[in-house]
Structure 1
Amino acid sequence: MGLPSINIIFKTKAQNVIKRGERGIVALILKDTLSSENPLSITSVSEIPSSLTLENRNQIELALRGGVKSPRKVIAYVVPNDATSYDSALNYLETTKFDYLVIPEIAEAEVTTISSWIKDCRDKKDIKVKAVLPHADNADSEGVINFATDDIKVKDKVYTAAQYCSRIAGILAGTPLNMSATYQVLPEVEDVSHLTKAEFDKAIDSGKLVLMNDGEKVKIARAVNSLVTTTQEKGEDFKKTLIVDKCDMWHDDVKRTVADYYLGKYVNNYDSKIILITAIQAYNDQLVLEGLLDGSSIDYNRVFIDLDVQKQYLKEIGEDVDSMNEQQLKEANTKDKVFLGSNLKWNDAMEDFSINVSI
């Protein structure tokens, strides 16, 4: 029978945005000498243990730097220097709240393994986490950010993509969800490889997050993830880190509320379903008031009983659905199952401009 399921499926009839109620969390898996405290929960540079190597301390500092804001915290899970897998860290993180995973010392062969773990968490375990990975060209997932800029010059040091993933994760985790990380400036970076517009367009279209030097400063060219192959369920919107962050936050908020206040606490009848629908609708309505959801039409952002799915379930358990009208289908006994839907339409951030000038 397994655990009770709260399955929230997003359809791509809408765009997505939600203001982050709290700053995001970056999880780092570091190779170092194990300490008595593992994992480490760090909210400021002053809390970084001096027992860690200089490189690992630097990685935590990079993540904490953030962008518009700093991440809420960094979770640093330390594995032994001679560890041959990250299984212990991944098993821990599967049951821990975080937003972006980074493994600074990840080997090229391990990128695919971690990409698969992220996909498995998102698609099979309903755990909406993401990872920033270097040169994850084959990931093709909204949960994997394929960071593809090497030769990042910062003072007297040159970073590889792998070494700077922590910085990118910190920026994404610290970006409020009413903003985009596109064109986010990295003031400490002096230079990166210079690409032509055609080369930038090709990189972005192939799902790469890259840095650009605009002649004055270095910034994120466009905040995209590695998703390239779109489907009916995951359209073009899902290529943006902003959009996916918003989807994940909405998902987690609703899932957590249902688990804490509704699961097992109400009889499963029509009246109880209406109570839950009303609660989620109030949440959506507040997002409209904040300007996060698009309130231009009453046809969007509604919460309702998903009649198509509920009808299919009733048919599977032997109910004569053909003899029921719409209201009877809504009120039918669905045992311990609850089938709801919502058609969200989010306000996006401004990224593409067309300005005509007449003289």
Structure 2
Amino acid sequence: MASGGGWDPTSLPIEPGLYLNFVEAAAAAIRGGTRGTVAIPLLKYGAKATAKQFYTVSKEKEAQHLFGATNIASIRLALMGGAKEVLVYTMPTTPAPADYVDMRDAFDSRSFNVFVFDQEAISTEQDLTKVWVERNRTEGKHFAVVFGGTAEEDADPAVGNARSTRLKHDYIANLIVGGKLSGTSYTSAEFAPYMAGLIAGTAINRSITYAQVALDDVNKRLTPTQIRAALTAGSLILVNDGEKVKVVQGLMTSGEKIRVIRARQAIATDITTTAADAYIGKIDNNPDGQAALISAIKAYLERLEASNVIMGPVVALDPEIPSAGDSVFLLISFAHVDSIERIFLTINV
């Protein structure tokens, strides 16, 4: 099975695959894959669904039919946010810690782009989810997670910022502000599925910074000082600018931009899919085969460059490690394209 996980030149993996050294300066991809899937472990559902099963829905009516209209708030919000589809895993009626372990293990074998809980998750499950995200990243599976908090936590942004610090990771976003829509109040955890849908549904060459969200108001209006503190902590925050509610800045808890991380994840995911389909075991490891592989990777990176995802891609054989036998070692570099988010003016009169 192809792997997008890390590799160590002193201890190479033994199973067939095209391995990526997933570092800041190097990644690889060949073609774009399907994006826009949000994964949700659903806590309540009707008799038409069975515990510990997967269901994929792309329309609210489908979700209502399967799970009941009163149980699909998180699914509805994910679709409203822009998700193409929601991959639902039905939790047992009274889930125990072991059931959350089973849930994470079950999602290991499924493809999705963003994971989010149905409602508030206790800190223990948040921490275990962070470990799960990192394990998957190491093993070559790349996805984002969106967390949120309770009403009490939302009332004090410092508490939400502390959660961002505790959950600091390139692949984790932490919403610390909820809101109100059509008379319904949402905590940040309850509104997190909308943000998961927004992240999953936004093109990898676009940012969610200043994106308008479907809220009438926020449940906590932050002061300028609180906004700066939240951004410094890597928190995902919403503000009411007097006309609309919008995302202040698309940040992961590590401080990395969501746009940059999503592009990085897409590239790492795409190469494993295409390598398994078209390259592993199908081309010779000789100059011609190596040139074909390099050409394919470079062509895709150049398409990403044309789409303003990256700049200046370079692909070449690694001169430090010979590509021989059944192994090929490549050096790949590029620069990410970010969005203009701060404009500084000097006006001379």
The answer to whether the aligner puts 1:132 opposite 2:146 as a matched pair is yes
Residue type of the partner of 2:279? Y
The answer to whether the aligner puts 1:49 opposite 2:64 as a matched pair is yes
Match of 2:228 in 1: 201
The 3-state SS of whatever aligns with 1:349 is coil
The answer to whether the aligner puts 1:62 opposite 2:62 as a matched pair is no
Match of 2:296 in 1: 279
Match of 1:313 in 2: none
Match of 2:177 in 1: 149
Match of 1:320 in 2: none
Residue type of the partner of 1:39? F
Which moved further from structure 2: 6-15 or 335-344? 6-15
1:81 to 1:256, Cα distance in 2 relative to 1, 3 A:
same
Residue type of the partner of 1:171? L
Residue type of the partner of 1:98? F
CA contact (8 A) 1:184 1:219 kept: yes
The answer to whether the aligner puts 1:95 opposite 2:109 as a matched pair is yes
The answer to whether the aligner puts 1:167 opposite 2:194 as a matched pair is yes
Pick aligned residue for 1:345 from 329, 335, 349: 335
Moved over 6 A (4+): 14-20
Pick aligned residue for 2:124 from 109, 126, 136: 109
Shift of 1:23: 3.9
Match of 1:290 in 2: 307
Shift of 1:22: 4.1
| CA offsets 1:120-167 (integer angstroms, 9 cap, x no match) | 111x211101111125431211111111114x2223222111111101
Shift of 1:15: 11
Equivalences for residues 234-245 of structure 1 within 5 A: 239-245=256-262
CA contact (8 A) 2:204 2:259 kept: yes
TM-score (norm 1): 0.81
Match of 1:77 in 2: 89
CA contact (8 A) 2:28 2:268 kept: no
Shift of 1:41: 0.6
The 3-state SS of whatever aligns with 1:335 is coil
CA contact (8 A) 1:181 1:222 kept: yes
Equivalences for residues 8-19 of structure 1 within 5 A: 8-13=20-25
Which moved further from structure 2: 91-100 or 25-34? 25-34
Shift of 1:246: 0.3
The 3-state SS of whatever aligns with 2:259 is helix
Instruction: Tell me, in whole angstroms, the C-alpha distance in 2 between the residues paired with 1:206 and 1:188.
Output: 24
Instruction: Tell me, in whole angstroms, the C-alpha distance in 2 between the residues paired with 1:221 and 1:16.
Output: 31
Instruction: Tell me, in whole angstroms, the C-alpha distance in 1 between the residues paired with 2:32 and 2:113.
Output: 11
1:178 to 1:279, Cα distance in 2 relative to 1, 3 A:
same
Instruction: Tell me, in whole angstroms, the C-alpha distance in 1 between the residues paired with 2:264 and 2:114.
Output: 14
1:51 to 1:99, Cα distance in 2 relative to 1, 3 A:
closer
Structure 1 unaligned spans of 5+: 229-238, 295-299, 311-331
Structure 2 unaligned spans of 5+: 1-12, 149-159
Instruction: Tell me, in whole angstroms, the C-alpha distance in 1 between the residues paired with 2:233 and 2:300.
Output: 36
| RMSD over equivalenced CA pairs, Å | 2.6
Instruction: Tell me, in whole angstroms, the C-alpha distance in 2 between the residues paired with 1:222 and 1:23.
Output: 22
Q: Percent identity?
A: 25
TM-score (norm 2): 0.83
Match of 1:236 in 2: none
The 3-state SS of whatever aligns with 1:285 is helix
- Across the two proteins, how many residue pairs are aligned to each other? 317
